[in-house]
Each structure stands twice: as C-alpha cells, then as structure tokens.
Amino acid sequence: MQWTRESSFVFITATYVFAALALVAVFAAFAESPILAMLWAMVAATGVTFAASLIGNGSVFDAYWSVIPPLVFLLVLQTGGGGWNPLTISMGVVLLAWAVRLTLNWARGWTGFPHEDWRYPKLYRESPLPRWLTMLLAVEIAPTIFIWLGCLPIVPATRVQEASLGPIGWLALAIGLAATLIEWVADEQMRSFGRSKQPGDIMDRGLWRYSRHPNYFGELLLWFSLWLFALAADSASWWSGIGIVSMIGLFAFISIPLLEQRSHQRRPGFSEYAAKTSVLIPWFPRK
C-alpha cells in the first residue's frame, strides 16, 4: 500500500478507536478486580495495535503511551466508588493535559508510514527472534507493562469518596502540571532547534543547557505526581510507587542509554556536552 500522511493518520485513528473498544470491553469483564482489569484491558488494546502494526509498522504503538492512560483513568473511576471529587478531578486534569500535549506533539512530528522510530529497526536487527515476535514483545508488550505499572496509583486514588486534595494532593497537582509544562517547553525548544540545525550540532540551549533529557525529566515527574495523588487519597497506597520506580528504571537503563549511545556516534561534540551537563535532573552546567 502507498501510504500518505493523511491515510496514515486515518489508519492510526481507526486503530485506536478499535483499541479503545477492546479496552472497554475487556475492562468490563474483569471490573471487580480493577488492577487485573487494567492489565488485561491494556493487553487487549495492545493486541489491536499489534495487528495494525503488522500492516503499518511499530510506530502504530507510539500514541498508545498517551492515549490509553486517560481512558483507563475514566474506566477505573467509573467502577472505583470514589466518583468525581477534588482529588480525582485534579488527577484527571493532570492526565488530560499531559495526554493532549504529548499526543499532539507526536502527531506534529510523525510523517506517517513508512516512517518508523529508529529504535525499532535496531531491535529487529539485534534480536535473535523473528521480526514480528520482537515487535510484539519488545515494542508493544513490554511498554504496555510499564504503562500498566505507572497507572497503578489510579486505583487507590479513585477509591476514596469525597476526597479533598490536602497538602500532598496540591503538591501532586502542581508537579503534574509542571511536568506537562516542562515537556512542552523542552519539545518546542528542540523542534525550533531542529529547523535550523546543521549535521552534528548539539542542542545546548534553553532547558537543554541544564539537562540532556529535560523532556524525560518532565515525563518522570508526571508519573511521580500520579503516585502522590494515590498517597493523598490513602497513605497505605505506598505500594503503587512501583509505577514510578519502574518508569525510572525504564528511562535510566533503556531509553536514555539508547539515545546517549546514538548521540555519541552521530555528534562529535556530544561527549563534551555530556561532560558538563546533567543527564536528567536539571542543574547548572559544570565548568
């Protein structure tokens, strides 16, 4: 099939409509156990994106990261018993702001098929498994598990009736909105840089002067804020912190090392930039 940008987006949109329907149907079947319901519903949605990826490519899954969590939040809230209250409204606002911003950022930058995130072909080449199985396990199932873990705080946060924000809730709201702002600023700065850069140029301006990955820093703040919302609802929900711990592990040991390796190979000045710039948490450059 000869893909255009327009036909690619039509295909992606249809895929996520069916993924959302699968999510809702499977969640309803396991609704009595919301944690398991989230897991199996997400796996079902991933099954739809995987089937579509065999027609398109692995980049079908890219929007999953920001599209699915708000839908899961609404499903859990509907069955959680807590209903809409200051805490769940604030959590919903944070998730919606983050999801809309991240999805639009992806849509603006995606040129359609046959473009595919450079990390996926690298996985296909280096994996001993067939391409389709590598795509299923590494490109789709593994991220789905991380997203599921990251969404665990939604369960305790939606179980308390008439929950007020309290100090921790206000902190969660502030950090969640700040996370979206940081990601937006970082991505816009990188987009502006990309329009004028020359081969080998290093982005060391704006937020990127203080962190090599400010967008990832913002992303981790978002998942941290979800955990804070859970703690604001019930201090005994500390266990849901496995979500932010898993996200830190994903970025620290997989996402960031992959990008750093690529940058060292493609940009001669990156080593000097890395030597003076914090890898993740923004801080003043070293002299």
Q: Please give the pLDDT value at position 258.
A: 94
Which sign does the torsion angle of CA 217, 117, 49, 146 carry? negative
| Tens of pLDDT, residues 46-87 | 999 999 999 999 999 999 999 999 999 999 999 877 789 999
Q: Please give the pLDDT value at position 81.
A: 75
Binned at pLDDT 50, 70 and 90, residue 170 comes out as very high
Question: Is the pLDDT confidence value at 268 over 90?
Answer: no
* Distance of alpha carbon 187 from alpha carbon 184, whole angstroms: 5
H-helix or E-strand containing 172?
helix 166-196
| Tens of pLDDT, residues 208-252 | 999 999 999 999 999 999 999 999 999 999 999 999 999 999 999
Q: At what angle do helices 5-29 and 64-80 cross, to 10 degrees?
A: 30
* Radius of gyration, alpha carbons of the chain: 19
Q: Which of 258, 93, 86, 88 is nearest to 179 (CA)?
A: 93
Question: Is the pLDDT confidence value at 184 over 90?
Answer: yes
Q: Please give the pLDDT value at position 129.
A: 95
Q: Please give the pLDDT value at position 257.
A: 96
